[in-house]
Amino acid sequence: MSTAANPCLEPFEHRGITFKNRVGLAPLTRGRASYPEGCVNDLHVKYYTQRSSGGFILSEATGISRRGNGWYKAPGIYTDEQVAAWKIVTDAVHKEGGKMFCQLWHMGRAGHSDLFGDVPLSASALPLTGEVTVENHVKKPYETPKAMTDEDISATLAEYKNAAKCAVAAGFDGVQIHSANGYLLDQFIQTCTNKREDKYGGALENRLRFLKEVIEAVLTECPAEKTMIRFSPNGAYQEMGGADNLETFDAAIQAAAGYKLLAVEVMDGLTFGYHEKCDPYTLERTRKNVNIGNPDGSTAVMGNCGHTQETANKEIGAGNADLISIGRDYMSNPDLPERFRDGLPLAPQPEYPDWWTYEDAQGYTTFPKATPTLYYFSPFAGRAELVRLVCKAGALELEECHEKPTDVAAYASSGSLPLFTHNTLKMAQSGAIEMYCASIAPNFASLSATQRAKDQMFACIKEDALVAVATPMFGDKNKDVLTAAFDKYLGIIEAYLPAEGFVNGESFPTMADLAVVNICTSHMPYGAGLKVADYDYKKFAKVAALVDLTLGHKNLEGYAVNGISAFGI
């Protein structure tokens, strides 16, 4: 389905940020961080990179301080250790071309002293009813919170400032202030939880005072063009909602937009619980109030809560929203934008225990993509790099094994190029990429990780083209079949290559260029197929020019006489 019929898949250029599409991962509390350190780990790296094809990622709610983080095994963003852990995640997401924002969270009365050692804070001393989950998933009654003093408010503002600073240091593209779902800021905004009689309570202007102070504290460390905010005017979660919510959130949204923030997200959907105390707050109303608060139109509108491809297209197409964040469907469909694009059915939404009951990969990174995963093992890094590119081409998820697998029977022979015919094929890869770079030429040893990460040139090649090439390589070596396969394959590469110069615009060849050389001239299986078919790759002018340019570069001096087979075997 074209992007014309799918506004949610169109790119969005906004405030210096390129969102590759308008659908993103909503902030979802998942409870997999270390406790009590609050550090993310390898599970988070995989979880977020699996979902990096969306236009943006909003991190799970992330505590701004120990006292603000009252959810068992939720992450934080206030210590050096947490910053270092998140930096690994953001680097991985950026390598996949994703954008990631850190949601800054203070739970207020929804926390528990068992998790942070002190009485919870709130606007007023009004406890929630029911039970809260504490250490090791034990349930305990909610505690009566402490109504925050001026000193508590000042300390919390400093925590927001520090958290924003830490988020920037951790490599996030920006932050989102969590002012929804009955957490601390929401507790100050809504009359059902704010019974104060000082400058932070009573009149609407007073109830918005703390919100404004938090925004101002965050903006001292993260600029407005990288700062979002989230509201939930319809939500009943954590006993929220009131008859005056329309008026309240008109004013709150206008106030937030007045700071010219990057985006205002409103949970306009009703699937997370609707309080039914006033009419639902819509994205059309959100747009109106964002424009009142910021008439220059530089604050985007984001919708959330129960949206589907159909409703996302409807709201974006009508101009009510610029972006839509999706939660539960994105949990169980890590390739959600691709499924939207290709018209593929969605996997069922996850069961409730998947959300935050488990502490391991179960229900977190175990939801499959619609496309197969390839496991590849080879001691030859040249071939390994080509397989990485080929997997990118076929929208195949590649998991690399850097040590020889113990279960050899589960893998194809070392160094072979796999057939892309089913989802259960297992291979792995030993990955001697640095050695490979050094063996090509001294200058390659200095290639930065960023430059190597740019070698993703085959994104336009679909699995059918790969099968067409791979099958004759290992099956019937019929010259006509091989010729047709290479005409199709090299034709796609020809169409993608720049008119001149190297693939990535560098002044020297990178792995993408070497992959083309491998295909056309080496003794790897692709090259062997060319020889069997007496195929002349030079019929494709840009392919031939790139091969000549690459082989003629000073970085590769000496390799012509040694034979191109050195690249691949």
- Is 279 buried (19+), middle (13-18) or exposed (0-12) by CB count in 10 A? exposed
Count other C-beta atoms under 10 Å from residue 212's C-beta.
Answer: 15
- 47, 78, 160, 183: the active-site residue: 183
Count other C-beta atoms under 10 Å from residue 354's C-beta.
Answer: 18
Tokens of 404: 């020889």
Give first-to-last CA distance, the chain, whole Å. Answer: 41
Q: Report CA-CA distances (Å) from 234 to 181, 193, 304, 361, 477.
A: 9, 15, 11, 32, 64
Which residue bears the tokens 């109830």? 207
Looking from the CA of 264 toward its CB, the CA atoms found within 13 Å total 36
Q: At 406, phi and psi to the nearest 5?
A: -75, -35
Contact status, residue 288 vs residue 330, Cβ threshold 8 Å: no
Residue 36: asked if its preceding bond is cis (omega within 30°), the reply is: yes
Say which residues have a Cβ less than 8 Å from residue 52's Cβ, sequence separation at least 6.
93, 96, 97, 98
Count other C-beta atoms under 10 Å from residue 531's C-beta.
Answer: 10
Told to judge if 358 belongs to the known catalytic residues of this protein, a careful annotator would answer no
Helical (H) or strand (E) element with 88: helix 80-95
Among candidate residues 269, 252, 279, the one with its CA nearest the CA of residue 189: 252
No. of helices (H) and no. of strands (E), the chain: 22, 17
Cα–Cα distance measured from residue 156 to residue 159, given in angstroms and rounded to the nearest whole number = 5
The residue type at 91: D
Say which residues have a Cβ less than 8 Å from residue 384's Cβ, sequence separation at least 6.
376, 378, 400, 429, 430, 431, 432, 433
Helix orientation angle between 209-219 and 150-169, rounded to the nearest 10 degrees: 30
The catalytic site residues sit at: 183
